[in-house]
Amino acid sequence: MIKYYSINGELVNKEQASLGVTDLAIQRGYGLFDYFVVKKGQPLFFEDYLDRVEQSAKWLHLELLVTREALREQVLQLIRANGEQEAGIKIILTGGYADDGYSPAKPNLIILEMPPPVYPKSKFEQGVKLMLYEHHRTFPSAKSINYIVGIYLLPQQQAAGAEDVLFHSNGEIYETTRANFFIVKQDDTIVTAGEGVLHGITRKRLLEVAKHHYAIELRNPSLDELKLAKEAFITSSTRLLMPVVQVDEVTIGDGKPGSVTQRLLELMKAEVVRYLDEH
């Protein structure tokens, strides 16, 4: 039973966990976050996520106020207190209480724990559909809390039966609202955007694992290439790796998850096991 959240280092009963309404997250949507899963009681790829929290804070001019060691300990304290072996953890750092309603102040640090993400098996076995939308995220490399475009598009996404929205700009594909996007070319080369996207932790691990087996091109896949792709997939902290078989009206390959995607999913599952064994 998840009973607690952590607010500025204090465990708080989750029903009582609150922020004053002048916080800059509430007044101006200003803050950063990160999210990772807990498996067998361990935060998966923990140090990578702590790295990214530090990078996002630097990018957004928000001071973390605690050392990396203290932040790590706050997360572990929360996991211990809630006693769950499988969960999701979200770290949020907000702009703090802004007297003038605009200037970042002393940030508030929130750590939420939630049930682990669950996706129907069918999505991995049959693949999912994505919906295209022309947009390039603002400051994509910082994991800010700004999700206005994705949330605004939710009704359209649901009407289209799409798992997520795939952003493109000037004919080039970037990422989805919450995942990195990859295509597999006919010669099995893997292509994913190198810059202008969030550098996902799962993306990073995937690239490390994949490079021993496949050629990799770090560049934006073009919209035209999508029609010629053999396979496509997305990676994220919640989904690990999920096959994509349709983008708008374009069927990817033969419309079924391909062999490269399936092999990469197995390699990633093994990477998770390896990590948990080693930590």
10: three-class secondary structure by DSSP: strand
Nearer to a second copy, 151 or 228 (CB): 151
CA atoms of 121 and 103, how far apart (whole Å): 45
168: three-class secondary structure by DSSP: strand
**Helix (H), strand (E) at residue 225:** helix 223-228
**In the bound complex, what is the minimum distance in angstroms from residue 18's beta carbon to a second copy?**
4
Nearer to a second copy, 172 or 188 (CB): 172
**Helix (H), strand (E) at residue 7:** strand 4-7
Contacts with a second copy by CB under 8 A: the residue count is 47
49: three-class secondary structure by DSSP: helix
Q: Is 148 in the site for a second copy (CB under 8 A)?
A: yes
Burial class of 27 by CB neighbour count within 10 A (0 to 12, 13 to 18, 19+): middle
Nearer to a second copy, 152 or 259 (CB): 152
Q: Please give the C-alpha separations between residue 128 and each of 24, 164, 233, 249, in angstroms, as whole numbers.
A: 36, 9, 9, 13
Q: Is 197 in the site for a second copy (CB under 8 A)?
A: no
**In the bound complex, what is the minimum distance in angstroms from residue 228's beta carbon to a second copy?**
31
Q: Is 27 in the site for a second copy (CB under 8 A)?
A: yes
Q: Is 243 in the site for a second copy (CB under 8 A)?
A: no
Contact residue for a second copy among 4, 11, 33, 84 (CB under 8 A): 33
Nearer to a second copy, 88 or 127 (CB): 88
Q: Is 186 in the site for a second copy (CB under 8 A)?
A: no
Nearer to a second copy, 102 or 195 (CB): 102
Q: Is 65 in the site for a second copy (CB under 8 A)?
A: no
Nearer to a second copy, 25 or 226 (CB): 25
Positions in 79-118 near a second copy (CB under 8 A): 90, 92, 94-95, 101-104, 110, 112, 114
Q: Is 28 in the site for a second copy (CB under 8 A)?
A: yes
Q: Please give the C-alpha separations between residue 84 and each of 75, 272, 277, in angstroms, as whole numbers.
A: 13, 18, 18
**In the bound complex, what is the minimum distance in angstroms from residue 59's beta carbon to a second copy?**
8
**In the bound complex, what is the minimum distance in angstroms from residue 84's beta carbon to a second copy?**
17
CA atoms of 121 and 162, how far apart (whole Å): 16
Q: Please give the C-alpha separations between residue 227 and each of 128, 166, 215, 247, 252, in angstroms, as whole numbers.
A: 16, 15, 20, 9, 7
Contact residue for a second copy among 29, 41, 140, 196 (CB under 8 A): 29
Structure-block tokens of residue 208: 């490390």
Q: How far apart are the first and last CA of the chain?
A: 24
Binding site for a second copy (CB under 8 A): 5, 7, 15, 17-31, 33, 60-61, 90, 92, 94-95, 101-104, 110, 112, 114, 135, 138-139, 144-152, 154-155, 178
